[in-house]
């Protein structure tokens, strides 16, 4: 089955800095990669996703890049704000399954 | 966007009792729902996949007789934790998927925090 590794487990940045979270996956058949943001005690919310037919996708301060050859994808947050503080989960889903495999999560802390 | 609700949002119960958690898709029909368990500061662990009108598919290590799942309609799935024990205390989150209308995205419910005394 799919295995998703996520790093770092904790990321602390100053407000205004950029934050990068990296994930690797094992199944070369995976073709859908969503990212979720989960604030403390709340539900995970989809913030951005990318499919395997593109290498990069951007939505305002958030961008995701995908390297299919290396089987890794990354989340980039620019101009971080305190409200970006949360746990971020990457996930990978194979074309043969509709169940994504989640990474372990990254706790992002943005200091004012 | 799609809305998924869960009820109750939190529950405290005595050891040995059963607890039922409901997951509803409010504005779309969910042919498939998923039940996750999340311990503090840990990732989402898939427990089972709930398919409307058929038996749930449980992940390895999840006891199907302890975590009963029923998906009787296209908008409702229930998870019953039977004979709950303190080690069952956790945050239970459901998610729903509507392949026809919403593509591949999973929409999560707000979660149910269970505390077993």
Q: What CA–CA distance (Å, rounded) separates A101 from A25?
A: 9
Residue A1 CB-density burial (10 A; 0-12 exposed, 13-18 middle, 19+ buried):
exposed
Percent residues over pLDDT 70 in chain A: 98
**pLDDT at residue B104, rounded to an integer:** 66
**pLDDT at residue B43, rounded to an integer:** 87
**pLDDT at residue A74, rounded to an integer:** 98
Percent residues over pLDDT 90 in chain B: 69
Q: Per the structure block, which two tokens stand in for A19?
A: 């934050």
Q: What CA–CA distance (Å, rounded) separates B68 from A1?
A: 25
pLDDT greater than 90 at residue A1: no
Which of A16-25, A29-38, B69-78 has the highest average model confidence (pLDDT)?
Answer: A16-25
Strand partners, B11: B114
Closest Cα in chain B, distance from residue A41 (Å): 8
Inter-CA distances, B108 with A16, A20, B99, Å: 30, 24, 15
Inter-CA distances, A27 with A5, A32, B75, Å: 12, 11, 32
Give the chain A residue nearest B49 (alpha carbons). A99
pLDDT greater than 90 at residue B7: yes
> DSSP assignment, residue B29?
-
Closest Cα in chain B, distance from residue A79 (Å): 25
Tell which residue, B70, B67, B82, has the closest CA to residue B19. Answer: B82
pLDDT greater than 60 at residue B101: no
Q: Which spans in A1-112 are helix H?
A: none
Q: How sure is the predictor about B99, in pLDDT bands with cuts at 50, 70 and 90?
A: low
Inter-CA distances, B31 with A85, A101, B2, B34, B103, Å: 33, 19, 14, 10, 12
**pLDDT at residue A53, rounded to an integer:** 86
pLDDT greater than 70 at residue B1: no
**A25-78 residue pLDDT tens:** 999 989 999 999 999 888 999 999 999 888 999 999 999 999 999 999 999 999
Q: What CA–CA distance (Å, rounded) separates A18 from A32?
A: 24
A37 touches chain B (CB under 8 A): no
Arithmetic mean of pLDDT over chain B: 90
**pLDDT at residue B113, rounded to an integer:** 95
CB contact under 8 A, A98 and B99: yes
Chain B residues in contact with A32 (beta carbon < 8 A): 104
pLDDT greater than 90 at residue A22: yes
In this structure, the number of other CB atoms found within 10 A of the CB of residue A24 comes to: 18
Chain A residues in contact with B113 (beta carbon < 8 A): 41
Chain A residues in contact with B106 (beta carbon < 8 A): 34, 46, 100
């Amino acid at each position: 089955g799919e295995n998703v590794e996520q790093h770092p487990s904790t990321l602390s940045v100053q407000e205004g800095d950029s934050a990068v979270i990296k994930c690797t996956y094992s199944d070369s058949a995976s073709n859908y990669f969503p990212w979720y943001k989960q604030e403390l005690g709340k539900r995970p919310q989809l913030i951005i996703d990318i499919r395997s037919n593109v290498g990069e996708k951007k939505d305002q301060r958030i961008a995701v890049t995908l390297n299919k050859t290396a089987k890794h994808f990354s989340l980039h947050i620019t101009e971080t704000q305190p409200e970006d503080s949360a746990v971020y989960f990457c996930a990978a889903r194979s074309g043969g399954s509709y169940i994504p495999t989640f990474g372990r999560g990254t706790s992002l802390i943005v200091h004012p | 966007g799609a809305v998924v609700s869960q009820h109750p949002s939190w529950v405290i119960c005595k050891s040995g009792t059963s607890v039922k958690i409901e997951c509803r898709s409010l504005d779309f029909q969910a042919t498939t729902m998923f039940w996750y368990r999340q311990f503090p500061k840990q990732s989402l662990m898939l427990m089972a996949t709930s398919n409307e009108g058929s038996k749930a598919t449980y992940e390895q290590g999840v006891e199907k007789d302890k975590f009963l799942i029923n998906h009787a309609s296209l908008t409702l799935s229930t998870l019953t934790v039977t004979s709950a024990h303190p080690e069952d205390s956790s945050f239970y989150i459901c998610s729903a998927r509507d392949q026809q209308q919403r593509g591949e995205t999973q929409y999560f419910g707000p979660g149910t925090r269970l505390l077993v005394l």
